[in-house]
A and B are shown apart, each in its own frame.
Chain A
Amino acid sequence: MICARVIGGSHSGDVVYIPRMNLIPSGANVSVTFERRQFPLVLSFAMTINKSQGHTLSRVSLYLPRPVFTHGQLYVAVSWVSSRSGLKVLITDDNGEPSTSTVNVVYQEVFQKI
């Protein structure tokens, strides 16, 4: 069992016990269906942009050694913060050199049907 304390949200501060659980991956990128018994936890100093959707974050650093690859990722990454000072961005190009621009992906046709 791992003992942990909730950070943020309406249950903030609650102390909970988390047992190992039998987890079956839902992604299609695995060639065998298997089951893993593990604590359903991952370190959260850093997280993927997709995972961050729904979190309330006020200090976000965006690390882009490669550009985003799907609709809305850049927007989600920058839109959590409410003030300019809460956002930091670090971009490097293919050769690891610092860069000041990155690629934004937006599927315009999604907006046309609204």
Chain B
Amino acid sequence: MPHAHILLWLGEKDKLDSISSIDSVISAELPDPTLYPKLYSAVTGFMVHGPCGFARPNSPCMKDRRCSKFFPKKFVSRTSFDEGGYPIYRRRDLGIVAMKKDIRLDNRSVVPYNPTLVMKYQAHVNIEFCNKSNCIKYLFKYITKGVDRVTATVEAVGQGDVDEIQQYYDCRYLSPCESIWRIFAFDIHSRYPPVQRLTFHLNGKQRVIFDDDADLEDVVAFNQERNTMFLAWMDSNKESEIGRSLTYPQYPSMFVFNDRNRTWQPRQRGISVGRLTFVPPSNRELYYLRLLLNVQVGCTSFEDIHTVDGVVFETYQEAYGALGLLADDRQFIIGINEVAADSSGGSVRKIFANLLMCSSLADPFRAWEMTWEALADGILYHRQRILNLPGWCMEKCHCPDLIYNLFIVLCLYLLFAFIDISILIILVDLIISDEDLKELCLVEIDKLLRLNGKTLDDYESMSKLSSVVSKVFDSVLLANELAYDQNEMLTMHGHYFSNLNEGQLSSYDQIVHSVENNSGGMFFVYGYGGTGKTYLWNALSFRFRSEGKIVINVASSGIASLLLPGGRTAHSQFAIPLVLVEDSCCLIEKNGKKAQLLTMASLIIWDEAPMINRLAFEAFDRTMRDVMNNFIDGALDLPFGGKTIVFGGDFRQILLVVPKGSRADVVHSTINSSPLWSCCKVLRLTQNMRLQGLGDAHETQMLREFAAWILNIGDGKAGDIGDGEAVVEIPNDLLVENSGDPIGDIVRATYPDLIENMADHQYFRDRAVLAPTLDLVEKVNDYVMGLIPGDEKEYLSADSVCKCDDDIGLDHRWITTEFLNDIKCSGMPNHRLILKIGVPVMLLWNVDQASGLCNGTCFDCCLSCKKCDMCKGDWWQPQR
């Protein structure tokens, strides 16, 4: 049957960039026969697949007893994309059917179509959306593939002359689309935008072309005068100021290379993109020269290219490294030494521990060897100061922190071992050997690691602690949880308990009852923001901690964990694997320290539970049953092994993110879709604490109405109620007046008198512009950045391909550094990070939870400390 495959490229403005715009063009549903009778008959006549499958096994689409086109499809309520990037069109179960060959077919059998095209042409017109490079590749193949037919003639071999023209005719095959293209005399090839290949070379190593018999002296004389494209760029920089802000690859955007007189001249019209010729990494200096050319601007000589911040480096590689673009440890070592110059050993050790924790160091041992003196700074002084204090007993001298004290109580024999060391240290104190100092320093680093649940032993290449010292710290996880001052906890509890409201008190009683009777149980405290969940967590934690019991507080996100007393993220505390499947378990050794902590815990509190995939809870449940089975008979059959566990959260908030997941995927992955949910007792908090204690009746009424409006939005009761989506009218007084410059308007509304308030530490504390997508956020941030005075500092990242199994079949040589640099994705800083002094920034990684450095923590920043005096200046002083 004659047919055509047509690929349409949509212009920038008409791109189908949202689900709703796809739905407006492509439909895979039967139209309503009463509203659109003509369209209904056209769609049922042309656009319904089948019948096939069981109903009609001899249908031409059937291969191996299955439909090769995968009909009938599934009902879905919303258009989405599958893992390969192919669209899954909306097919709702609306009860509309079509009869074909006496078989009822519904929306599952509709071939995607466009109503206008079907009506206009009254023919089968399948329309598909493709916006992924892999779909496009497939489509090109599809529309250009030819018919399987050739015209052949039989000739005897070796007779007569060879007719070359005839041979050419015989071999040349034109596909239908190419023939049409040629008939219409369209351009066979074009290029947009034009690409200017940029050549470059090391100093004095340009390529020279000459004849075999040329006189070499003439060749040298001729070429000495003759500029290369690269040298001409440097010359042009000397003369023309406007190009000095451009890198060499950016240069063709404003300049044109004139081949005849070999100079760059200002561009009069058109555009062009510059591309540096490829150099393999094995050609070292040239390779680094190429990388530097992507960064350096306004160079007038070769020396300029390998000059960074006024320092001339010997090689291009060193210069590149100085820009922080080489992924070796050098910048870290320099950084540590820089920080050590103007701050205490404690903060330097923290940096080192953080670097270890996020495995940024390529060779930790070497970095340790090169920086240990800086890291050990202050340790000796600290010892001396302790020793010089009169009247201190020996234990106190050397057991200055809680962990030591705790273990004196817990294990006496270890204490004796420790005193041995203490005596040793006292004797040799002022002439302490490097080895001992290193050891002490490692102990300090180990302590920092242990606060985050890691130990030095986790880093194979690092120096090990001698066994005696390390044993003392072994159960630090447990020790941290037991280190609370019971009296203080008791006072705190008294204060919190007396202020619990009715709902909180009822929840509190049920949970306490469950813990005290060891009856176990799974609770979910459900309440919106302001109903005092965190308050309840505090009351519970203080209560049990005052009794010397262990309460483990975790939250699904780092920033939420900071609000909990002694909170951690669930992933780190329970070692939940990052990739979860139906039968995942936590990475906890059954007889290890974590398991010990979990068995001893009286209560586990897990906040913001709806933000995590239910598989995480199920993995933790499986692990707890396994761990508790050692202690309680029948623990395998109890949820969470018979522990009392309290979840908290608000289902009105954003649920977890399922990459490319549909609505059903998200709902199905939420905690209340888990089989565990059936044994969960839901406790409701409904009293809005924010409305309490307000004197003015009118004000209270206003707040009450506003809170009700917010809740209606959360419950989906505001505006007209549709399936999932509803249009909500925003009250006039909340709207920002739009003067035609929306970004400017919103920024002015959020940050009034921005410049005057820059120095105020509190100013940025609790304000922000929120937007749904990352590109909008970036636009606003760029806009505000442009308003702020002061020099900006640019930080470029070093990007490299991970050599992992996922990308088998991908040739890593194809991937240039520029390509990686261009990638932007959520949760990841951009290749180019631009900062100014005092701007607010947010952390994107869980760096050091014990110090409150979580994904989402906000800062205001001062740039590299060594160079600016900000830290000592006014800006750094605490503002009141």
Contact = CB atoms under 8 A, between A and B. Distances in A.
Q: Which 5 A-B pairs have the closest CB atoms?
A: A106-B716, A11-B852, A38-B797, A4-B859, A46-B780
A30 to B, nearest CB: 5
Nearest to B801: A34
Interface in A90-104: 90-92, 96, 98, 100-104
A75 B860 contact: no
Most buried by B among A54, A55, A68, A92: A54
Contacts of B7: none
A32 B19 CA distance: 25
A89 B735 contact: yes
A6 B857 contact: yes
B734 A89 contact: yes
B326 to A, nearest CB: 9
Contacts of A25: 823, 825, 827-828
Most buried by A among B19, B716, B833: B716
Contact of A54 (B358, B608, B733, B829): B608
Contact of A63 (B733, B776, B785, B833): B776
Contacts of A12: 765
Given A6-B859, A73-B654, 12 more contacts: A1-B351, A4-B861, A19-B335, A25-B825, A38-B798, A44-B840, A45-B839, A50-B657, A61-B767, A90-B746, A100-B732, A104-B719
Interface string B680-724: 001000000010000000000011001000100111101100011
B453 interface: no
Contacts of A102: 727-728, 730
A20 to B, nearest CB: 7
B347 interface: yes
A107 B768 contact: no
A30 B768 contact: no
Nearest to A106: B716
A43 B841 CA distance: 4
Nearest to B841: A41
A17 to B, nearest CB: 5
B49 interface: no
B797 A63 contact: no
Contacts of A45: 747, 751, 768-769, 780-781, 784-785, 839-840
B709 to A, nearest CB: 8
A42 to B, nearest CB: 6
B611 A108 contact: no
Given A2-B863, A5-B761, A41-B842, A21 B360 contact: yes
Contact of A83 (B339, B703, B742): B703
Interface string A8-31: 111111111111111111111110
Contacts of A24: 802
- Interface bracket on B: 35 or more
B459 interface: no
Given A53-B611, A76-B653, A22 B359 contact: yes
Contacts of A22: 327, 358-360
Contacts of B1: none
B350 interface: yes
B334 to A, nearest CB: 9
Contacts of B390: none
Interface string A47-84: 11111111111111111111111111111111110111
A47 B360 CA distance: 26
5 contacts: A19-B351, A37-B798, A61-B750, A83-B703, A90-B735
Nearest to B784: A45
Most buried by B among A10, A12, A79, A89: A79
Query: What is the interface of chain A mostly: helix, strand, loop, or mixed?
Result: mixed
Nearest to B17: A66
A72 to B, nearest CB: 4
Contact of A6 (B559, B810, B852, B871): B852
B678 to A, nearest CB: 10
B660 interface: yes
A32 B771 contact: no
Nearest to A53: B654
Contacts of A107: 655, 663, 666-667, 724
A3 B769 contact: no
A21 B770 CA distance: 27
A80 to B, nearest CB: 8
Contacts of B745: 90
Most buried by B among A15, A51, A55, A102: A51
Interface stretch (B471-479, B512-520, B523-531): B523-531
B863 A3 contact: yes
A107 B719 CA distance: 15
B734 A44 contact: no
Contact of B734 (A2, A14, A47, A87): A87
B394 interface: no
A114 B829 CA distance: 38
Given A23-B845, A42-B841, A90 B856 contact: no
A66 B19 CA distance: 12
Contacts of A69: 18-19, 772
A15 to B, nearest CB: 7
Given A64-B771, A114-B672, A16 B780 contact: no
Nearest to A80: B529
Contacts of A83: 703, 706
A19 B751 contact: no
B767 A58 contact: yes
Interface in B833-880: 833, 835, 839-845, 847, 851-853, 856-865, 870-871, 876, 878
Contact of B859 (A7, A36, A48): A7
Nearest to A98: B738
A27 B825 CA distance: 7
Contacts of B761: 5, 7, 13
Contacts of B733: 84
B852 A40 contact: no
